[in-house]
Amino acid sequence: MEAPFFVKVVLNQEQIRAGVERLAGQVRAWYEERPITVVGVMTGSLVLLADLIRLLDMPLKVGLVQAASYEGTNRRPLSINPDMMPDVVGHDVLLVDDIFDTGHTLVEVVALIRSLGPKSLRSAVLLRKEGRQQVEHHPDFVAFDIDNQFVVGYGLDYCDAYRNLPYVAALEPDELHEPAE
């Protein structure tokens, strides 16, 4: 898929594939052959989650947690819905998210999962934005560090658009408006 004329490609398909392979290698090295429960943060992590679990050869279960802090372009308080999560009590859990920006979502989802009694909990993200963190906690595994720019594609969205792009691209500030349906 070619990039639309209005986006600047930040990570192409080959770079993403190599980054996800590195991420999988880090996860395999950490957990070795122990079974894990992989929990993806909806909806942005779905593409990464699918690609990552196909590269992991240890026994695993997969579940989802929904975390949302935007409605369209409007920021709202973070809401977390764990209804699609498997039982994590006594399990080694890997939380997978698309991007680590301010860090508030990761911190709150980690706190929720910790309250459920996992044996261990680690986190993995595709992207970590440099200079945006407002929390002390950081992901355990990171595929890419990127500059502070608004990115879409490979699961990341803007107003629920662009998730299907097979690369990560930056939108310029003048492109940040409600996309046409």
Helix (H, G, I), strand (E, B) or coil at 55: coil
Residue 155: name the closest of 59, 27, 11 by CA. 11
CA angle (73, 164, 69) in 5-degree steps: 30
176-to-10, 75, 91, 150, 163 alpha-carbon distances in Å:
17, 14, 41, 9, 15
Residue 123: name the closest of 42, 32, 25, 23 by CA. 23
Count of other CB atoms within 10 angstroms of residue 156: 22
Q: Which of 51, 101, 140, 147 is catalytic?
A: 101
Phi, psi of 132 (to 5 degrees): -110, -15
Catalytic residue check, 97: no
Catalytic residues, which ones?
A: 101
